[in-house]
Amino acid sequence: MTDRDTIRFLGVSIAPLTAVEAADRALRGGLILAPSAPGLCDLSSDPEYRAALLAADINLPDSGLAILLVRMLGLGSLPRTSGLGFLKELLSRAPLRDPGATFWVMPSEKAMHRNVAWLRSQGIEVTLRDCYIAPVYPRSGIIQDEGLLEILMQRLPRSVFICTGSGSQEKLGAWLRGKLPRSTSLCCIGAAIGFLSGDQVRIPAWADRACLGWLIRSLANPSRFIPRYLQALRLIPLALRHRDSLPPLVS
């Protein structure tokens, strides 16, 4: 994307795309990320995560807090295009419903079975052979997975969906982007597939549109998600200080 197609927030180019537009772009290939507010807080402390966002072909406007800050700071106006909305739109496209068109990096065996069952119920031709159960990737540092790369080079799917969660998936996607054909789309969607399959708490469409997914997740699992989203409030002073500029790295 060109600079005029994006809005810069904390030095990261955010694409002002609707879910339909983002799905159209994704079919051409490239790295598609949906940075969360907690993830954006790590721009100044995690160099590999920072590099992944800067290398992305599309950073979706997923974070409601980031969208609000962009508007308040006079940096522009962004639509809300969540990873969940993007995934639903992309999976409706005929080219991705064929056998072998998609490959899924799953966080666990349980999630894999539930997610594959849901995908097949939607008419998407996916089998367990189209999945890879990811190891526990480190939260910090470089992430590479030669075993996964070997499988992808043999199968060459049209789209790879990485569902390992914020932090690790962006780094893995950025590494794979430099190894796979440019026509391959690498979609880092975190728990989005789980919201649809029931592997995670379900988020109704109205709640996703209203940017209330964080609230539903917090109510379902307060001990896990309330601290995470409270930490995301660090994004406010970071944005006030740096606006559209990339924060300096701090050790």
User: How many CB atoms are located within 10 Å of the residue 85 CB?
Assistant: 23
Does 180 or 207 have the greater pLDDT score? 180
Q: Which amino acid is at 138?
A: P
pLDDT in tens, 172-200: 999 999 999 999 999 999 888 988 887 77
pLDDT in tens, 74-106: 999 999 999 999 999 999 999 999 999 999 999
User: How many CB atoms are located within 10 Å of the residue 100 CB?
Assistant: 14
Would you state the structure tokens that stand for residue 64, as one six-digit string? 């409601």
User: How many CB atoms are located within 10 Å of the residue 156 CB?
Assistant: 12
Q: Which of 14-28, 44-58, 207-221 has the lowest mean pLDDT?
A: 207-221
- Decide the pairing of beta strands 131-133 and 159-162: unpaired
The chain-wide mean pLDDT, for the chain, equals 91
Instruction: List the helix and strand counts (H, then E) for the chain.
Output: 13, 8
Task: Tell which residue, 32, 105, 82, has the closest CA to residue 192.
Answer: 82
User: Which whole-number Å values give the CA distances from 230 to 5, 117, 217, 224, in the listed order?
Assistant: 31, 34, 13, 11
For residue 131, give the DSSP letter: E
pLDDT in tens, 32-45: 999 999 999 999 99
